[in-house]
A and B are shown apart, each in its own frame.
Chain A
Amino acid sequence: AQKITQTQPGMFVQEKEAVTLDCTYDTSDPSYGLFWYKQPSSGEMIFLIYQGSYDQQNATEGRYSLNFQKARKSANLVISASQLGDSAMYFCAMREGLYNNNDMRFGAGTRLTVKP
């Protein structure tokens, strides 16, 4: 069964506007971590932001914030003030359990294009 769902294969946003990339997840484990990665056309995976299931506050890292809605099992990425360099593939991922050696599951990704 799909554990991470990203329903938007592609998104467009105007430069300087905010954009939300959707991610829903499925787990019965009360302990889990949620991650967002960016993959530019060069291919490297760049870690953006992390949210733990017990974290009370939504995670923020600069222009990135994670809109964590635990009851709805959603972990949407919000990028504020989009820049041309934000054009990339974005992947949502989840690691279940407490241990860092547990494996991670990724969504299918969303391709974001920022228009000038």
Chain B
Amino acid sequence: DVKVTQSSRYLVKRTGEKVFLECVQDMDHENMFWYRQDPGLGLRLIYFSYDVKMKEKGDIPEGYSVSREKKERFSLILESASTNQTSMYLCASSLGSEQFFGPGTRLTVL
């Protein structure tokens, strides 16, 4: 079974803090993705990576950066968290057609 894990299910941070969201997959997948999910907007792609040290911007990269130093790990970084980044963050990985998702991190920025 493919397993995608995310470091926290719930996270509360203050405005201006630097926030790291970690995602790890155990199936040697090349492709990894970060989405945010907001009511009425579905999932929106923030960044994705198709190889170690490679990254591509998605639809809403502003305010975020990513890091992929190892194949199994894809980190999402909020350099200076803001209240409008309060959301559910979903990580996914894929090798073939299907994307496998982690359980999500619900981030609240106060």
Q: Residues of A with Cβ closer than 8 Å to B?
A: 4, 6, 9, 33, 35, 37, 43-45, 47, 50, 52, 91, 93, 95, 100-101, 103-109
Contacts and interface: CB of A to CB of B under 8 A. Distances in A.
A6 B42 CA distance: 10
Interface of B: 30-31, 33, 35, 40-45, 48, 50, 56, 58-59, 88, 90, 92, 94-101, 103-104
Given A9-B40, A45-B90, A103 B45 contact: yes
B42 A103 contact: no
Nearest to B59: A105
B43 A91 contact: yes
A108 B103 contact: no
A47 B96 CA distance: 13
Nearest to A50: B97
